[in-house]
Amino acid sequence: MPGRLLLFALASLLVPNTAFFASKPLMAQSRTWTWESETIDAGGSFPSLAVDKQGNLHVSYLREGKGVMYGFRPAGSSKWFTMVIDSRSMPSNETTGIALDPQENPHICFTPGPLKYSSFDGHEWKTELIGTNTSTLEYTCSVAISSKGEPHIVWYQTHSPDGAPFLHIRYAAKKDGVWLMRTVDFDFETGKWNSIRLDAAGLPHLSYSSLSGGELRYAALNDDKWDVETIDSRNFKDNGSFNRGMGNAIALDVDGNPEISYYNDALLKFTKRIAGQWKTEVVDHVSSSSSWSRYRSSIVLDSHAMPHICYEDFGAVKHAVWDGAKWQLQTLTLGSIQSRTPSMGLSADDKVYIAYRDSLDSTLKVAIGTPTAGKGQASVKASGDH
């Protein structure tokens, strides 16, 4: 449905939150971003953010004492509307993922437990159990919606229905009203971190980790068969990290070529497939962590096909953008707490939106970067952080 009609439908269901701003300029060599900070909710963690074609913001997240939440902010407004999608306890290994369908309606996956998925059809939310599988999934899930409105989901399934360890990446797509599920990779501990995008033909492309092998892998579905490639591995003959592929995120360029951000212990890296070959480079040196939740990146391509990456570095929320010659790095927020789990989206005019957990009071915020002309460098501290 058009963005304004979606706003009216959602506003009748959601509860408004107040917002506030604090602005400081942030400049990169090729462009300048003026950053603002808005409060989405008084509490929140593990956000996943999407921006629709009208510039409306959609975010899924977790709220202690409430469960899985959805937030909506119309374009040109500073007022957020929020609602509970699924009431549940708050285990430490739960995340959310959000995507929009062709009518700009939100679809959300969340963990743990049996595989459930919530979608808004323009009038009401519907939550469904995918298949009859009651086995447990944990850690990350990712969702994408085709141009036909068909949902595709990937997740890390930790147990079989009988309770035995499973530890593989799984994929499901809804065709003609029926969910079809399959295992993508049967190697041990594959998919603890995962991400999905669909190409112009509606075919899924996945990035995911192989934790036991210390690898980043990529899979594409061709002729009903998964073509799997290992992009980075501890077995490669370069000097580097033991663990590779954590916190990965995938984007596709206009030709369907994959671009992936990911962590190798104390490195944030970027890789892109060019003419059938993977080109990989270091974006930033970061602090390593023993917590799975502190490895998370988000990648999007702007109108100039330049990749933007948001990520966490031991409590700092950072933004990196490729300017055509090198990576421009910006620290948006500093803080004493970790697991900020930032998530990013871009509007059609290249305005950057990064959802994250505030370090000072654990509120859920969004940093908004507006591009302008200019040169130079500076950092920004979003409101409420220290």
DSSP string, 78-102: --EEEEEEE-----TT--EEEEE-T
Q: Averaging pLDDT over each range in 7-11, 27-31, 140-144, which range is the top one?
A: 140-144
pLDDT at 18 (0 to 100): 41
pTM attached to this predicted model: 0.89
Whether residue 208 contacts residue 191, with contact meaning beta carbons closer than 8 Å, is answered with: yes
pLDDT bin (cut points 50, 70, 90) of residue 23 is very low
Joined tokens for residue 281: 């480079």
d(CA 84, CA 106): 14
User: What phi and psi values does residue 199 have, to the nearest 5 degrees?
Assistant: -85, -175
Distance between CA 211 and CA 158 in Å, rounded?
Answer: 13
- Each residue's pLDDT tens digit, 214-229: 999 999 999 899 999 9
What letter would DSSP give residue 113? B
Alpha helices, DSSP H only, in 148-284? Answer: none
Q: Which of 172, 175, 218, 212 is nearest to 194 (CA)?
A: 218
**Structural tokens at position 12:** 């009748």
Mean pLDDT across the chain: 85
Assess contact for 249 and 243: CB atoms under 8 A: no
Contact indicator for 351, 36 with CB cutoff of 8 Å: no
List, in order of start, the domains of the chain with CATH numbers.
3-21+40-310 (2.120.10.10)
Q: How far is CA 113 from the centre of its chain?
A: 20
pLDDT at 268 over 70: yes
List, for residues 325-366, the tens digit of each pLDDT value. Answer: 999 999 988 877 777 789 999 999 999 999 999 888 889 999
For the segment 182-210, the average pLDDT, to the nearest whole number, is 96
pLDDT tens per residue across span 27-45: 444 566 788 899 999 999 9
> What amino acid occupies position 242?
F
Mean pLDDT of 231-237: 86
Q: Is the distance from CB of 184 to CB of 216 less than 8 angstroms?
A: no
Residue 373 binned pLDDT confidence (cut-offs 50, 70, 90): low
d(CA 86, CA 78): 25
